[in-house]
Each structure stands twice: as structure tokens, then as C-alpha cells.
């Protein structure tokens, strides 16, 4: 059952950078709370690395580390950081969270991907 609203989609269609739906932000807040992390210091690092079945794999990580070169965004109270090289591939990407019968997890809607694999965790550009 998807909980993403039309408003989430409309809001994310118009912006650039890394976009986070309210559903994904809520799940990230839950993870931060479960792991007893300091929410004021935590950043969601979004990136890509070479590999995966389609050429690049997505990375999501909770971190307190932020580099001077990182781009920073904030969506729904979550601070997001992304290195400049990854941002070339991820600009305009929406990170959502799905909780469905066939599985649950973060999903990426990347307008820069020319193709993606069936698992949704890798892409080519």
C-alpha cells in the first residue's frame, strides 16, 4: 500500500537537487530514532558508486560527516548531502519509501537514468 500523496509528487516535480518525499522523510526519522542518533547532527548522504547490474548503484547513508564540497539540501526537516560527482547523476532525483506487500524500502525516481535494473537499486546514465 503506497502512502505517497499527489502533493509529494507535485512538489518534487518542480525542484532540483535531491528530493525527498514526506513518506521517505518519515521513515528516515524513524530510523534515526530507533538507532538513538542525534537528529540535529545527522545528514542523509545520497550518492552513486560504480557497479550494480546497470552501471551505477545508489547509496543512502546516515552520517554526521559533511565535506566542504558537498551540496546540501533540506526536505521535510531532513538535511541531505551529496558530493558534486554524484549530483551530476542524481540532480532532480526523488527518494521515496515504499511499504508494499512485495517488499519495503527506499526507491529512486531518477530523471537522468537512461535505464535501470529490475531491482531498482542500480541504473545507467
Q: Write the pLDDT tens digit of every residue in 50-91.
A: 876 667 889 999 999 999 999 999 999 999 999 999 999 999
Mean pLDDT (the chain) is: 84
pLDDT number for residue 42: 96
Q: Can you tell me the mean pLDDT for 28-54?
A: 90
pLDDT number for residue 114: 79
Determine how many CB atoms are found less than 10 A away from the CB of residue 1. Answer: 6
The counts of H helices and E strands in the chain are 3, 9
Determine how many CB atoms are found less than 10 A away from the CB of residue 72. Answer: 12
Determine how many CB atoms are found less than 10 A away from the CB of residue 37. Answer: 14
Tell me the percentage of the chain whose pLDDT exceeds 70: 78
> How many angstroms separate the CA atoms of 16 and 8, rounded?
14
Q: Which fold has domain 6-124?
A: Hypothetical Protein Aq_1857; Chain: A; (2.60.300)
Does residue 45 surpass a pLDDT of 80? yes
> Do 27 and 98 form a contact (C-beta atoms < 8 A)?
no
**Which is more confidently placed, 101 or 12?**
101
Amino acid at each position: 500500500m503506497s502512502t505517497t500523496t499527489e502533493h509529494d509528487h507535485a512538489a518534487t516535480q518542480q525542484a532540483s537537487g535531491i528530493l525527498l518525499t514526506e513518506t521517505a522523510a518519515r521513515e528516515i526519522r524513524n530510523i534515526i530514532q530507533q538507532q538513538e542518533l542525534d537528529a540535529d547532527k545527522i545528514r542523509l548522504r545520497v550518492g552513486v558508486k560504480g557497479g550494480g547490474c546497470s552501471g551505477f548503484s545508489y547509496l543512502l547513508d546516515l552520517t554526521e560527516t559533511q565535506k566542504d564540497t558537498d551540496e546540501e539540501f533540506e526536505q521535510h526537516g531532513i538535511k541531505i548531502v551529496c558530493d558534486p560527482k554524484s549530483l551530476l547523476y542524481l540532480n532532480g532525483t526523488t527518494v521515496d519509501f515504499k511499504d508494499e506487500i512485495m517488499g519495503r524500502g527506499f526507491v529512486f525516481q531518477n530523471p537522468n537514468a537512461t535505464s535501470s535494473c529490475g531491482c531498482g537499486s542500480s541504473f545507467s546514465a
